Structures are given as C-alpha cells and as structure tokens.
C-alpha cells in the first residue's frame, strides 16, 4: 500500500495519524481535503507532501474545468497559494507546487482548460514517478557506504510512508539489508508525534528488518555502548551550505554521533535541496500546537496551562554531516561546492 496514490481522478492517502493501530485510507476528491491531510500530518514526510500537493492541484484544476483558461489559471494560482500555507519547512511542497505552476505558465492564454488539466495530471504523475526513481538511486548509492554488517540508528520516519516508494533513509537501509550489511536498526521514537515508534518500527517490522525501538533520550547511551556504528536520517530542506533541516531531535542525534565518532548520513533527493537559501538559518521552522507536547496517546501528561515550545524541526549544521546521499551520488564537504554542482544538474 502506497502513502500517496492516484487513480480515477482520486488521490488516496494512507492515514498516517492512525498507524500502526489502524490501516485506513483517505479518498480525496477535493483539493481542500488533501490540504487538510497535509496540515494534519495524515500524509507527511517531505517527498510524500510534495506529491500529495501536486495531485491536490490536479483536483483543484478539475474543479475549474468549466472556466475559460485565463480564469481557470488565476483560480488555480489561488489554490496553489492555499496549498503553500499547509506546512512551511519541507521544501518539496513548494518545489512540487512550483513545477505544477510552471506547466500552467507554459500554456498559451488560448489554451483550453481540458488540455491544461491533462498536462497538470501528467506532471503530477511524473513528480510521483521521479520520486520512485530517486528512491531507488539513493538506495544504491547509500548502500555502498555499508560494506560490512552494521547497526544503524535512525530518527523520525524517512521510509515508504514519507515518500512515493521505498523511502530515503529507509530506502538505503532496505538496500543495505538486502546486501547483508545491516544487522539491526535502532529507531528513535521521535517525540512528540512518535513517527519513529508508530511508522518506522512498523515499516521495518513488515519487511522483517530487525528493529529496536528506543526513546529519544536513549540514543546517547546506545552510542556510548557501541550498539550502533552509523546514523542515517532523511531531510526536509537542505541549504546551499549543506545545513540540514529534519525532524526535531535530529540535531541532538548529530551532536551525539560526533561525540562518539559515528558517521552521520543524510539521504535526500534533489527535490529536498533549497538552492535559493545560503544556510540553515534561512529555513522556516514549523511550530505546532502545544497539545502535541502536553498529551501522549490522547492523555494529558502535563499540567493544564503550562507554557510549551514545540518546533517540529531543527537544523543540523553541515559540519556534523559526514555525507549526503542523493540520486546523483554521494556529497561530501565542502558542501557548498558539491551542492552548487548539484544545482547545475537540476536546472
């Protein structure tokens, strides 16, 4: 089952807020429902959000089918603006929306709306298909980093649920596992929303890959006791200098890895690079509701009215990153040069 699927003009999303207890899908026939799903994290993970937004724009376009092209176009631009407001950090969302709008811009004012819908649908399908290809290429490049049996630690969920296919970090793990070079994965539970416990542990268990779940504050002790030899995570946005935004807690894991002399790898497709920003300090960090911190499994675990800080992401400085795995190969420091080269390939 895919996290994002498109058929018969319907966007089907696997409802990730219910996993692992319930496996339920959401049928989106309206772009507003898809936008809501992104906002609520029913679909989440940078590449999956991008693909979902692209298909949401196809739904939006179909709603305007009866209009003449100029009006169709301006209404769809408004829909795109609304979709941009759903989540701020993962750049894949903006990248996918920009690609869809570029298709729209490429059509003449005399175009008819039916042809525009067809072109937009084709672009959304291409975005999803390309994500699958990028997953496979990253998996192959990333697996080459593991040449002997290794225990790895991961944070959040950068797997099939977060992408259109096998995942970024978990795609690499899957491939290295097939090659006999992963012995076990330690999954941080990833408070507050438990993507590691609910999603990563679930995905890996389904594939029969040995996984050990730990709470976030156990990672240091696991490293100290030499229970892992590498860390691999995904990313939501990577700046030109190689600074990496990923799920809150990633930065702490990177600092711990440095202290223990453990390599810290990031797996991310080119769609996760923001070639317009110089460093991680330019990355907008989403802040989410206090209730995500004050409650656990629907139960309140903090005093009523307590002040809460709930950033959903943090930025790991490039100095802590051993290598970035992309579909074009492995990037190493100096990252500004490597990412500049990558930006040329992506033009």
Ligand X SMILES: CSC[C@@H](O)[C@@H](O)C(=O)COP(=O)(O)O
Binding site for ligand X (CB under 6 A): 41, 44-47, 90, 156, 158, 162-163, 168, 195, 234-236, 246-247, 312
In the complex, the smallest distance separating the C-beta of residue 138 from ligand X, rounded to whole angstroms, is: 10
Asked if 157 contacts 195 with a C-beta cutoff of 8 angstroms, the reply is: yes
Q: Contact 48/42 with Cβ under 8 angstroms?
A: no
Residue 62 or 137 with smaller CB distance to ligand X: 137
Q: Which is nearer to ligand X, 200 or 294 (CB)?
A: 200
Provide the angle, in degrees to the nearest 10, between the axes of the packed helices 91-105 and 46-63.
Answer: 30
| Radius of gyration, CA atoms only, the chain | 20
What residues pair up with 230 in beta bridges, in sequence order? 152
CB of 231 to ligand X, least distance (A): 12
Tell me how far the alpha carbon of residue 22 is from its chain's centroid. 22
Token pair, residue 156, equals: 């959040």
The encoded tokens of residue 35 equal 């936008």
CB of 173 vs ligand X, minimal distance in Å: 12
- What's the min distance (Å) between Cβ of 324 and ligand X? 13
DSSP state letters, 288-337: --THHHHEETTEE-S-TT-----BSEEEE-GGG-SEEEETTEEE-SSHHH
Which residue's CB is nearer to ligand X, number 234 or number 280? 234
**Smallest distance, Å, CB 247 to ligand X?**
3
Element (H, E) at 62: helix 46-63
Residue nearest to ligand X (CB): 234
Which one is catalytic: 131, 165, 188, 236? Answer: 236
* Residue found by looking up tokens 């970035």 in the block: 324
The residues with which 153 forms a beta bridge, in sequence order, are 186, 231
Q: Can 165 be counted among the known catalytic residues?
A: no
Give CA 235 to chain center in angstroms: 6
Query: What's the closest the beta carbon of residue 235 comes to ligand X, in angstroms?
Result: 6
The smaller minimum CB distance to ligand X, of residues 61 and 267, is found at 267
CB 256 within 8 A of CB 223: yes
SS3 209: coil
DSSP type of residue 261: T
Query: Beta strands of 56-154 (E only): which ranges?
Result: 150-154
Residue 133 has a CB neighbour count (10 Å cut-off) of 13
The closest of 155, 152, 173 to 227, measured between CA atoms, is 152
Least Å distance, CB 252 to ligand X, is: 14
Which residues are the active-site residues? 236
């Amino acid at each position: 089952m895919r996290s994002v699927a498109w058929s018969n003009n319907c966007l089907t999303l696997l409802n990730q807020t219910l996993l692992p207890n319930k496996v339920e899908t959401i049928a989106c026939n309206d772009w507003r429902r898809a936008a809501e799903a992104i906002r609520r994290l029913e679909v989440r993970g940078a590449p999956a959000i991008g693909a979902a937004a692209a298909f949401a724009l196809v739904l939006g376009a179909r709603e305007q089918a009866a209009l003449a092209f100029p009006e169709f176009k301006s209404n769809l631009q408004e829909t795109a603006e609304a979709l941009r407001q759903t989540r701020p950090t993962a750049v894949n969302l903006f990248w996918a929306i920009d690609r869809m709008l570029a298709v729209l811009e490429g059509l003449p004012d005399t175009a008819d709306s039916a042809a525009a819908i067809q072109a937009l649908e084709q672009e959304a399908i291409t975005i999803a298909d390309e994500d699958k290809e990028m997953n496979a290429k990253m998996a192959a490049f990333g697996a080459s980093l593991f040449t002997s049996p290794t225990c790895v630690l991961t944070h959040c969920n950068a797997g099939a649920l977060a992408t259109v296919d096998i995942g970024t970090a978990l795609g690499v793990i899957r491939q290295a596992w097939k090659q006999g070079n992963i012995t076990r994965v330690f999954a941080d539970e990833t408070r507050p929303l438990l993507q590691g416990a609910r999603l990563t542990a679930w995905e890996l268990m389904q594939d029969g890959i040995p996984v050990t779940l730990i709470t976030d504050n156990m990672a240091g002790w696991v490293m100290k006791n030499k229970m892992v030899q590498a860390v691999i995570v995904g990313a939501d946005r990577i700046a030109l200098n190689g600074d990496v935004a990923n799920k809150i807690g990633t930065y702490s894991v990177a600092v711990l890895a440095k202290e223990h002399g453990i390599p810290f790898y990031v797996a991310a497709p080119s769609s996760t690079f923001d070639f317009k920003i110089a460093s991680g300090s330019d990355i907008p960090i989403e802040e989410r509701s206090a209730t995500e911190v004050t409650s656990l499994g629907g139960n309140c675990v903090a005093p009523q009215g307590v002040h809460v800080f709930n950033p959903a992401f943090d930025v790991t400085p490039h100095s802590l990153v051993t290598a970035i795995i992309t579909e074009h190969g492995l990037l190493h420091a100096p990252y500004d040069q490597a990412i500049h080269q990558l930006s040329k390939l992506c033009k």
